[in-house]
Chain A
Amino acid sequence: MYRYDELDQALVDQRVAEFRDQTRRHLAGELSEEQFRPLRLRNGLYIQRHAPMLRIAIPYGLLSSTQLRKLADVARRYDRGYGHFTTRQNLQLNWPQLADVPQILAELATVQMHAMQTSGNCVRNVTADHLAGIAPDEVDDPRPYCEIIRQWATLHPEFTYLPRKFKIAVTGSPEDRAASEVHDIGLHLQRDAHGQIGFTVLVGGGLGRAPVIGVCIREFLPLPHLLSYLEAILRVYNRHGRRDNLNKARIKVLVKSLGAERFREQVEAEWQAARDYAPLLAPAEIARVRACFAPPPYAALPDSDVTTGRGPQFLAWHRYNTRAHRVPGYRAVFVSLKAHGAVPGDMSAAQMEAVAALAERVSFGLVRTTHTQNLLLADVPQHELYGVWRELTQLGLAMPNIGTLTDMIACPGLDFCSLANASTISVARDIQQRFNDLDYLYDLGEIEIKMSGCMNACGHHHVGHIGVLGVDKHGEEWYQISLGGSATGFTALGEVIGPSVPRAEVAGTIERIVETYRGLRLDGERFIDTLRRLGLAPFTERAYATHPAAA
Chain B
Amino acid sequence: MRHILRRREWLADEWRYPGEDPADPPGDAALIVPFAQWRADPQGWRGRAARLGVQLAPAERVEELAAELPCLSLVAVEFPNPGDGRGYSHARLLRERFGFTGELRAVGAGVRQDQVFLLARCGFDALELAAGEDPQAALRALARYDVAYQPGAPQVAIRRQRFFGADGR
Contact = CB atoms under 8 A, between A and B. Distances in A.
Contacts of B85: 121, 158-162, 238
Interface in A224-283: 227-228, 235, 238-239, 243, 273-282
A278 B86 CA distance: 18
B83 A10 contact: no
Given A7-B147, A155-B118, A280 B86 contact: no
Contacts of A10: 146-147, 160
Contacts of B141: 18
Contacts, number: 107
B149 A152 contact: yes
A115 B101 CA distance: 37
Interface in A211-228: 227-228
B92 interface: yes
Given A17-B144, A277-B169, A285 B82 contact: no
A278 B145 contact: no
B84 A227 contact: no
A506 B67 CA distance: 63
A156 B84 CA distance: 15
B84 to A, nearest CB: 6
Interface in A13-38: 14-15, 17-18, 22, 35, 38
Interface in B111-164: 112, 114, 118, 121-122, 141, 144-153, 160, 162-164
A11 B148 contact: yes
Given A239-B86, A243-B84, A274-B96, A157 B166 contact: no
**Contact residue range for chain A?**
35 or more
Contacts of B147: 7, 10-11, 14
A138 B82 CA distance: 42
Interface string B87-113: 011001000110000000000000010
B83 A121 contact: yes
Contact of B83 (A7, A11, A38): A38
A151 B148 CA distance: 9
B70 interface: no
Contacts of A282: 164
A238 to B, nearest CB: 5
Q: What are the 8 A-B residue pairs with the smallest beta carbon separation, nearest first?
A: A161-B85, A157-B121, A277-B165, A280-B166, A158-B88, A277-B167, A151-B149, A279-B163
